[in-house]
């Protein structure tokens, strides 16, 4: 099992550009999550999904969108990038309590 994979590893965006962060898991987990981690801080939940076709907002959803068309994939979309979205983004999946995290995407918006 590859676990949770994320692409790209790094990305630099200009203000106003759009991009999609990809997340795939091969563990057949129903629950998937997107977090952002700012320097020296803990993780904050952006969006989560309890299964294909079902998504819900987390603590900091503004400026982001998600979709969940399959069990395996949970992409995160940034429509109009802003400097405040500079962060490291982690995707995670779980069956119940134990969440498995991907390696992260480091995003810089300038």
Partner 1 sequence: GESVGLHLPTLSVQEGDNSIINCAYSNSASDYFIWYKQESGKGPQFIIDIRSNMDKRQGQRVTVLLNKTVKHLSLQIAATQPGDSAVYFCAEISSNDYKLSFGAGTTVTVRA
The residues of the shown chain that bind partner 1, judged by CB under 8 A, are 4, 31, 33, 40-45, 48, 50, 58, 90, 92, 94, 96-104
Distance separating alpha carbons of residues 107 and 45, to the nearest angstrom: 16
- CA 43 vs CA 18, 82, 91: distances in Å: 23, 19, 11
Q: Which is nearer to partner 1, 81 or 102 (CB)?
A: 102
In angstroms, give the least distance from the CB of 4 to partner 1: 8
Query: CB of residue 15 vs partner 1: minimum separation in angstroms?
Result: 26
Nearer residue to partner 1 within complex by CB, 18 or 57: 57
Q: Quick one: 7 or 16, whose CB is closer to partner 1?
A: 7
Nearest to 71 by CA among 21, 6, 24, 2: 24
Q: Which stretches of the chain are assigned E, i.e. beta strand?
A: 4-7, 10-13, 19-25, 31-37, 43-51, 54-57, 64-66, 76-78, 87-94, 99-101, 105-109
Nearer to partner 1, 63 or 100 (CB): 100
- Rounded to the nearest whole angstrom, what is the least distance from the CB of residue 80 to partner 1 in the complex? 26
């Amino acid at each position: 099992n590859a676990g949770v994979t994320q692409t790209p590893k790094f990305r630099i965006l200009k203000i106003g550009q759009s991009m999609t962060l990809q997340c795939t898991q091969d563990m057949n987990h129903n629950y998937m999550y997107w977090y952002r981690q700012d320097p020296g801080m803990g993780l904050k939940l952006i969006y989560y999904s309890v299964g294909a076709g079902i998504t819900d907002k987390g603590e900091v959803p503004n400026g982001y969108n998600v979709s969940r068309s399959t069990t395996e994939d949970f992409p995160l979309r940034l429509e109009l990038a802003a400097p405040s979205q500079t962060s490291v983004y982690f995707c995670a999946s779980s069956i119940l309590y134990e969440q498995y995290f991907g390696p992260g995407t480091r995003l810089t918006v300038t």
